[in-house]
């Protein structure tokens, strides 16, 4: 862990990405202390005010403070990213581990199921599933997680196939260690590197997906604030209220960039460790 931390801290881009992510987390959770407003507070006569000392990022069509709404929207985006990727890692980890370690018919059956899932356009599949139910934050997390695990499953399967023929696994089998302990204590810990990188990049993808769904009106529903539905409100006044589209768009861009930088840094650091 010490060696990993030193190498990660020497990676300038990864540290820049980590700084962005930490800043966004602090921005979201310190919002009640930084802003005197609530995300749904309507101020009469303050419609579409530009950024000022009173409203740092301006106000929207209803006179709500944009800084406060963006801070609370950041909570939604970060939670969706973490929870949905956690679901994807759990499902993909189970499927990939079973396929890689068991092999044979189980491997063939599971991989054909993965191939079938990969045939569906992910975003349109998400749209279809959400359209069947009432949109909610929990449904969005579940749907994004259950439609994005296939890459992790294939990645983990490939790692398990490579590792299960190594000498330390053969030695564990010769010593009478059970299959479950071999998987949990020897295979999964040594196969986690690429999975961690994929999960980090997957958080960025989940945030983009949630923002896209909210922008289309199928994600987080008003009056709950999210970056996507703030951009939806900005469509009606794009030519006269530039701040309503600029700041949420920058927040999405910077957050996704931060996770991508961290993912690239983790990949570089873990590849050095493996070599």
- Residues forming a β-bridge with 65: 59
Q: Residue 6, exposed/middle/buried by CB under 10 A (0-12, 13-18, 19+)?
A: exposed
* pLDDT reported for residue 238: 80
Domains of the chain: 2-44+54-274 (1.10.3720.10)
Instruction: For the chain, 275 residues long, give each residue's pLDDT as a single digit of tens.
Output: 788 888 888 889 999 999 999 999 998 888 778 777 888 888 887 888 888 888 888 888 888 889 989 998 898 888 989 999 999 999 999 999 999 998 889 999 999 999 988 888 877 878 887 778 777 888 888 888 988 899 999 999 998 988 888 888 888 888 888 888 888 888 888 888 888 888 998 999 999 988 888 888 888 887 888 898 888 888 888 878 889 889 999 999 999 999 999 988 888 887 655 55
* pLDDT reported for residue 267: 84
Q: Does residue 59 sit in helix, strand or coil?
A: strand
Look at the alpha carbons of 172, 178, 181, 186 in this order and tell me if their dihedral is positive or negative. Answer: positive
* pLDDT reported for residue 126: 80
Long-range contacts made by residues 218-224, C-beta under 8 angstroms, separation at least 24? 218/127, 218/130, 218/131, 218/135, 219/130, 219/135, 219/140, 220/76, 220/135, 220/137, 220/140, 221/135, 221/136, 223/39, 223/40, 224/76, 224/137
Which of these, 180, 170, 162, lies nearest to 274 by C-alpha position? 162
* pLDDT reported for residue 84: 93
Q: What span, in angstroms and rounded, lies between the C-alpha atoms of 141 and 123?
A: 14
The most distant pair of C-alpha atoms in the chain lies apart, rounded to whole Å, by 78
Tokens of 135: 């949109």
Q: What span, in angstroms and rounded, lies between the C-alpha atoms of 81 and 107?
A: 29
């Amino acid at each position: 862990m010490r060696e990993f931390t030193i190498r990660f801290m020497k990676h300038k881009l990864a540290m820049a990405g980590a700084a962005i992510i930490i800043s966004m987390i602090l921005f979201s959770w310190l919002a009640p202390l930084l802003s005197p407003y609530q995300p749904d507070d309507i101020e009469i006569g303050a419609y579409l005010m530009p950024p000022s000392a009173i409203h740092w990022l301006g106000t929207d069509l209803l006179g709500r403070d944009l800084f406060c709404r963006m801070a609370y929207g950041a909570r939604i985006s970060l939670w969706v990213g973490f929870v949905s990727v956690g679901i994807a890692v759990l499902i993909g980890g189970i499927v990939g581990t079973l396929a890689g370690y068991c092999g044979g018919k189980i491997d063939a059956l599971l991989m054909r199921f993965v191939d079938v899932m990969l045939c569906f356009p992910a975003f349109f599949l998400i749209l279809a599933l959400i359209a069947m139910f009432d949109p909610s934050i929990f449904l969005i997390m579940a749907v994004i997680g259950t439609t994005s695990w296939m890459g992790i499953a294939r990645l983990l399967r490939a790692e398990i196939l490579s590792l299960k023929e190594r000498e330390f696994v053969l030695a564990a089998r010769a010593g009478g260690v059970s299959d479950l302990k071999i998987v949990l204590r020897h295979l999964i810990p040594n196969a986690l590197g690429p999975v961690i990188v994929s999960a980090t990049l997957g958080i960025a993808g989940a945030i983009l997906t949630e923002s896209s769904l909210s922008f289309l009106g199928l994600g987080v529903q008003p009056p709950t604030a999210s970056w996507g539905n703030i951009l939806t409100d900005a469509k009606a006044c794009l030519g006269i209220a530039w701040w309503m589209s600029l700041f949420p768009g920058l927040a999405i861009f910077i957050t996704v960039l931060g996770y991508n930088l961290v993912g690239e840094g983790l990949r570089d650091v873990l590849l050095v460790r493996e070599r």
